[in-house]
Each structure stands twice: as structure tokens, then as C-alpha cells.
Structure 1
Amino acid sequence: MSDTQLTVTLSGGGLDDARAIVRALEDVFGAPDGRPADERATVRTATFDSPPSPQAAPSPARAALSAPVTVTVQGTPQAVEAASTTLSHAFSTRDEGAAAGDQERERQLLLVP
């Protein structure tokens, strides 16, 4: 695995939905390599190079989405767990499955409006 702590892949929803999801993760991981910007994209990605901040707590406020968004988070076990917890606090989520390797994990969530 590279030095990247977390890769987030988003499909479904619009640009504003993708930006809201990335903003929710910024409180825990800091700024990503770039924010979603292409209105026409069907799949968007963001990578966070910083490990999850141990003192950052997920915001209790829930965000609204315009459409369902499938989110895949991939990275270190700690990063995937922190991202999953953060997203479940910020959005209505359904766990769609997980996979684990030696040093990397992946989890897929469905975020619903």
C-alpha cells in the first residue's frame, strides 16, 4: 500500500452530494488531495494522506443528500473504521459489505437521503 491512508470512491448523487461527503471526512482526516469538481463525472474519488485524528469527533449534525450515493472507503484498518463511523454519524447509511487484507481494508456503504 502507498502512503495514502484513505481512498474514497463515490458513485451516484450529484456534485453537491460528493462535496458534502468529503467535507464530513475532512474533520477527521484533514483536507483531501482535491475536492470533487467535475459536474459530469459519474464516479468521484478523494484521497486523504493524513491518518485519522484521534481527537476529532464526528459531528452530530446529519447532512442531507439529493440521491443515494455508494461510498467505498479503502485504506488502513484505523482509517476505514474512522471513515465509516464518521459517515454513519453524518448520513443515513447502510453497510453493503467489507473486505479485509493483511494491512488494508475496504468497506462499502450506501448513503441514502
Structure 2
Amino acid sequence: MNAGEAVAAQAGGVDGAKNNAGEMQKKDKPARKTEATDTPEKFKATLADLDEQRTALAKSAIEQLKPGRPFDPVVVRQINKIETKKNRLIVSRFASLLRKNNPAVQAIVHQIIEI
């Protein structure tokens, strides 16, 4: 038995020590840094970039449409992936704003969600 296990055994077992360590990490762990929690400018830039990607894919798909040529459904899937990513990003932003526990921010987010 090493020193860590001896201390854990005295404190209530190895599992208890692991649980206590996990609780400490959860409390000390800062929020994840994502596009949704970045500054509003970065968030808007990310949304604009996703819009540009979607628009470019749509334009290229329209340009590829010619009589006698089959339509490529892969482009539609790529556009859907971009739209899904954009929607998830927006929902994450709302969730991060709600976690700030500011009543004014929460009221605004709830109003936006109801729209």
C-alpha cells in the first residue's frame, strides 16, 4: 500500500478519496472556453464565418446545376452540418448567458427564446 492509499484508507477508503478529489476538481474547474463563451465580437465573427461557408457551398451547388448533370446531395449534407453547428453555437451562447445569474441578462435571454 503506498502513502496515497494509506491516507485514503484512513479518510474512508480509496473510492471516498477519489470522490473527494473529483468534487474538488469540479469546484476549481473554470468554465470551458468555447466560441459561445468568447467575447461578443468573436461570437459574431464565428457566426459570420459559418454564414460565409454556407453561402459559398450554396453558390457552388447552384453553379454546378446544369441540364443532364446529376445533383450532388453531399452539398446539402455539408450545408446542414454548417447550419447544425451554427444552431448549437447559438444555443450554447444562450446557455452561457443564463449561467451568469444576472437577472437582467436572464430576462433578455428568455424574451429572445420566446420569440
Indicate the TM-score class for this superposition, using the shorter chain for normalisation: under 0.3
Higher relative contact order (CA 8 A, sep 6+): 1
Highest CA radius of gyration, 1 or 2? 2
Q: TM-score, normalised by structure 1?
A: 0.25
Higher helix residue share: 2
Pick the structure with more strand per residue. 1
